[in-house]
Amino acid sequence: MFITSLIAFLPAATTAPLAAPALLQPLDSSIVSLVAQDEAMTDPQWTGSVSLSAISTTGNTETESFNFDSNAVLRREIDRFTWKAFLNYGTDSGSGASVLTQRKMGTSLQYDHFVNEAETTYVYGNSGVEYDALADLDMRLTIGAGMGYQFYEEDKFKLSGEAGLTSVTEDFEGAPSDDYLSLRLAGNLYKQFDDNLILTQGAEVLPSLQESADINASLDTKLNLSLSESMFTSFQWVLDYDNTPSGSKDRVDNRFILSLGWSF
């Protein structure tokens, strides 16, 4: 009786499909998504943009101009790098001889380290160098440190403020070098209105702690309009203020730039 039952059971047992080992089972889509997100968080990338514009005119007006502007940010879990660079160049040959109308360039690098779990308070260190031929500025070197606060840091809205001390070295053409320590107050704004329109703005004020008349300030405002996923057109207004310019130079410089750019 037992053998008969065993023989009847064997065909059914041998024809039953074998279950795949647990290790070969397909991964749940939610697990795959979590793994991908974790890899993205542990491998941050630089983001930023490059803008270019060039204009050349001939005939009654003989002018040439070239503008370059770039910025990049690396945001990691507890720190952030921010790099900026620009170049503005222009000539006017309407009177026969080529006359320089602008030659200004500069670059800066800042490092922020967040000191609290909420990632709102940070300490920073930065350095920048600038040159302006028409302002007779051979070099302005700044090196500083201080503290900042990230009021908002969302995908479509970012706002931060900073305060610290900065060492300023200025070399004007035909004048001795000027070194002084200044207070630094700065702010940065990023606002995305919709999928195509973005406003960025950075402001900085450097009032000297040794000579009350020495005050430098800048305001950089840019409005970007997307043309494609990575291409955009931008309108930029840059205001530079120097309360003690060289000789009879103006205190205020304004630049209005229309450019074509690429984001990455």
Q: How many domains does the chain have?
A: 1
Residue range(s) defining the domain that contains residue 244: 46-263
Answer yes or no: is 91 within a domain: yes
Its pTM surpasses 0.85: no
What pLDDT, in 10s, does the model give residues 80-133? 999 999 999 999 987 778 899 999 999 999 999 999 999 999 999 999 999 999
In a domain, 63, yes or no: yes
Q: Is residue 119 part of a domain?
A: yes
Q: How far apart are CA 264 and CA 240, in angstroms?
A: 28
76 found inside a domain: yes
- Check which CATH number belongs to the domain holding 137 and give it: 2.40.160.40
pLDDT at 19 over 90: no
Extract the tokens encoding 56.
């050349």
Rounded to the nearest 5 degrees, what angle is found at the Cα of 175, between the Cα atoms of 171 and 181?
Answer: 45
In a domain, residue 139? The reply is yes
User: Does residue 22 fall inside a structural domain?
Assistant: no
